[in-house]
Amino acid sequence: MPGFPPQTKVLIWARQDGHCGLCGHKFQGEPERYHHLLRQADGGSMTMDNGVLLCETCHSQVHDHSRFREPVYVYQREFPHAKWDQGYKYQTQIDNLNNKIKSCRDLRFDLEKYGQDIRNILLDTQAQLKNLRLSSEDYQNIKDQINTEFNVINEFQRKRHEHYEHECETNRRELTEKVHQATNLAQNSHDWKEARQYLISVQQSFKGRKLKKEVSQSLYAELQKAFQVLGDRQEASRREYENLCQANRASLTEKVHQAKDLAQNSRDWKEARQYLIAVQQSFKSLKLKKEDNQALYAELQSAFNLLSQRQEASFREYETACAQNYDFIRDFVNKAVNLVNYGSDLKEAAEALKIARSRLFESQPFKKEKREELKNALTKANDQLSQRFADARDRREREFQQKQEHFREMTREKIHRLEEKADRIKNSIYNDRESLQFQRDKHSNVRPGPREYEIKSSISDKINDIENRINEKSSVLSDLKHTIMLLRDKL
């Protein structure tokens, strides 16, 4: 007789976490047995609740021991390690794996930043998948999802590498041309300043450019050689302008000191930087000894660095203030959005949206993209609130129409019942009139005799009773007709 299907065995294994349901032994590759609580021959099902995972020893014990053999159904309490209350652990494991893969998909929006995190998550998920006992269908499904995410990461890295190669080659061609031109100037130019400035500009152009290491070293070495050639040629004419360089040094020293003072104390970043750049530009028009030029230029660069550090600190303060304002306003926006989505008081939600929007546009400083983000959230929430207002109006209109229709239906039923009652009263009046005519005829046909008066009196009483009934029923009938007419007017 066939045993449990593979999917059910996987669920039982997951429920018991690979332990024997009777002795609690952890399976380490030895044979396992799946036992029916209620035998198939006795109508037992093939579901997880009718099965228990046992080791071979316990399985033999179950079939050999009279405590398990005599009854047709073995109770779940006989297997203390079967973890009957954890029957859905298997699905939880599947959900956990799917949630990890979903987190990778959620991070795709910035593969440059989160690419390695995604790869680590996928590797962890892949390792976890190998340690789980899943059905072949679930295993293949999760494996396919993991492979898909790996393919996305690999394709992104391939494209990034191609872009890097292309950028390196473009930079190599541009810098090679510049370095060759710098070498030519170093060998032939008599304008030392122009030649050195060009060599420095070429040297500066290396910064921030992507190059392969061997290419960068080769080009930079060639550029340094050009510097050396220029320095050797310049040394020959250095003595001619040494006195001029001394005067220029004194002038530039004063400017550099003033630049440092601005870099240390000024709060007008633009003015200070323009002055530092002006001092830097003045190096081009004045002749200086190389060591003086380097010393003053280094001092000026330190002023640039100091100004940049102070400006960076100010920018960080600005960033902090923006972040605090964003967090503060975001709380108002989230509260308003939650009221829109889950609140029952739509007017309260509308007021919360109004307050959040007001605070959003009043808060300073605030980054444009963050303000736009919260603005979009408020706009979306406002659209949702408008939809909820429209839905509420439609719902009230439908309820009103339903009540109207119910009222008309009830009115029609009432009219129908009243008309039936009126018909019965009409029939009753008709019968009473026939009875009245019969009694009148009977009264006229009474024969003279000793009991004539008694008989006529009795008949007269009956006639009076019948006439009274007819009058009462006619009055009721009139009231009914009036009521029916009023009800028809309401329809």
- Amino acid 80 reads P
SS3 52: strand
Do 126 and 144 meet the contact criterion of CB atoms below 8 Å apart?
no
Q: Do 20 and 77 belong to one domain?
A: yes
Measured between alpha carbons, how far is residue 482 from residues 266, 411, 418, 476, 487 in Å?
A: 98, 14, 11, 10, 9
Q: Do 417 and 389 belong to one domain?
A: no
The predicted pLDDT at position 357 comes to 84
Q: Is residue 33 part of a domain?
A: yes
Q: Do 31 and 65 belong to one domain?
A: yes
Q: Is residue 297 part of a domain?
A: no
Q: Do 383 and 418 belong to one domain?
A: no
DSSP 268-317: -HHHHHHHHHHHHHHHHHS---HHHHHHHHHHHHHHHHHHHHHHHHHHHH
3-state secondary structure string across 371-417: HHHHHHHHHHHHHHHHHHHHHHHHHHHHHHHHHHHHHHHHHHHHHHH
Q: Is residue 472 part of a domain?
A: yes
Tokens found for residue 153: 């990461």
- The packing angle between helices 192-205 and 136-188, to 10°, is 180
Q: Do 486 and 421 belong to one domain?
A: yes
Q: Do 390 and 449 belong to one domain?
A: no
Q: Which residues make beta-bridge pairs with 32?
A: 55
d(C-alpha 6, C-alpha 9), whole Å? 5
Q: Do 353 and 381 belong to one domain?
A: yes
Tell me the residue range of the domain where 382 lies.
328-403
Number of domains the chain contains: 3
Give the mean pLDDT of 184-195: 86
Of the residues 55, 87, 119, which one is the last residue of a structural domain? 87
Minimum mean pLDDT range among 42-51, 166-175, 271-280, 324-333: 42-51
Q: Is residue 395 part of a domain?
A: yes
Q: Is residue 471 part of a domain?
A: yes
CATH number (domain holding residue 33): 1.10.30
The predicted pLDDT at position 70 comes to 47
Q: Do 418 and 485 belong to one domain?
A: yes
- Tens digit of each residue's pLDDT (9 = 90 or more) over 114-131: 788 888 888 888 887 787
Q: Do 366 and 438 belong to one domain?
A: no
Q: Is residue 384 part of a domain?
A: yes
Q: Is residue 393 part of a domain?
A: yes
d(C-alpha 71, C-alpha 10), whole Å? 27
Of the residues 87, 114, 137, which one is the last residue of a structural domain? 87
Give the mean pLDDT of 139-150: 86
Q: Do 389 and 456 belong to one domain?
A: no
Do 153 and 118 meet the contact criterion of CB atoms below 8 Å apart?
yes
Q: Do 441 and 473 belong to one domain?
A: yes
d(C-alpha 122, C-alpha 114), whole Å? 12
Of the residues 44, 68, 87, which one is the last residue of a structural domain? 87
In the predicted structure, residue 299 carries a pLDDT above the cut 80: yes
Which of the two residues, 393 and 245, has the higher pLDDT score? Answer: 393
Which of the two residues, 65 and 98, has the higher pLDDT score? Answer: 98
Q: Is residue 467 part of a domain?
A: yes
- Amino acid 396 reads R
Farthest CA pair distance, the chain: 180
Q: Do 385 and 442 belong to one domain?
A: no
